Chains A and B, each alone.
Chain A
């Protein structure tokens, strides 16, 4: 029993169920794993996309609404800080101004538009979805699609490389009948023992 198991491990005796029979088996297992990986990546991307499109939950309290507007505005007297994050006095006054406008019934878009009218689109932390700034929105999507195409091409090449080729076309052997394989492997084992 132990010797049979050892022989099995060495590959000298083919198991009866033919698990190690064809080189195509490994390729199949590899393609299966690869397909699983691709499926998992697709599911994860889909989930990320859904979360990204849905965005954060809508703010409910006045404080949250102020925070939502302020976090999209650049603090005019800081280096790359949002009005929500800046400790400067002007940012504090901007938050107070946003709160007063929201309390008066203005919508977040209208409040933002007021600041854009005074400071220009520069005051927005996110670029507008038009003109040249559209590149900032479309470039990541383009890069993602290009990456997807590259990955698909790489997977295709990998799968093609792992399939067994006909004996006449290359160096790797065509699948052997089980009896021939047993003979060959016994001979190889004998050669290794020497």
Chain B
């Protein structure tokens, strides 16, 4: 009985030839699979997943009409067509916003007489905190309230500070993520002004 079972379990050597023929095919499959994986890894490792391409640059800036923080006449982006507009999203709870405050103040004092408009847009901030921040920081440019973050969402804001430069034709010329330096924004603004490089 046991001898017969053994004979049954020991089927044949017929598959040997087929197995030998299948070996190069299996090897080729493994080599191709490993090659594809290596190519995929090489492609993935060459990219920084944290870098998100600013998709809005070169496109029309999303329109908005927002009330000023603390009251006053609402400001509409469309009414500023023909001027360079710098839109800065900020919040009172954002430490980087305090870091860039002097650069923005310098920008405002240097370019406001050349027709450049600087607009702050408060991001996820209670009106009282925003107002208190504006008073303490001494910023003199208009800051706007953005209820429900509708404008921030239209501009694809992922955090603060973020700054957009809108060209006179209404297109977004540049987007800066994080605190800006005076030079960064001034260079862009100067290029967009009449007679700019």
Instruction: Name A residues whose Cβ lies closer than 8 Å to a Cβ of B.
Output: 10-11, 23, 26, 76-77, 89-90, 93-94, 96-97, 114-120, 122, 157, 160-162, 165, 169-173, 185, 188-189, 192
Of B56, B62, B124, which one neighbours A90 at CB under 8 angstroms? B124
For B153, give its contact among A93, A120, A192 (CB under 8 Å).
A93
> On chain B, which size bracket covers the interface?
20 to 34
A94 touching B55, Cβ below 8 Å: no
Q: Which residue of A lies closest to B158 (CB)?
A: A76
Residue of A nearest to B148 (CB): A93
> With A and B bound together, what is the CA distance between A171 and B8 in angstroms?
10
Q: Is the CB of A120 within 8 A of B149?
A: no
CB contact between B11 and one of A11, A119, A161 (< 8 Å): that residue:
A161
21 sample A-B contacts, Cβ–Cβ < 8 Å, listed by A number: A11-B4, A26-B8, A89-B124, A90-B153, A93-B149, A93-B153, A97-B153, A114-B154, A117-B55, A118-B62, A119-B52, A120-B156, A157-B15, A161-B12, A162-B11, A165-B11, A170-B12, A172-B8, A172-B12, A185-B1, A189-B1
Within 8 A of A (CB), among B1-37: 1-4, 7-8, 10-15, 18
Question: B residues near A, CB below 8 A?
Answer: 1-4, 7-8, 10-15, 18, 52-53, 55-56, 59, 62, 124, 148-150, 152-159
Q: Contacts A94-B153, A171-B7, A172-B7 given; indicate if A157 touches B18 (C-beta within 8 A).
A: yes
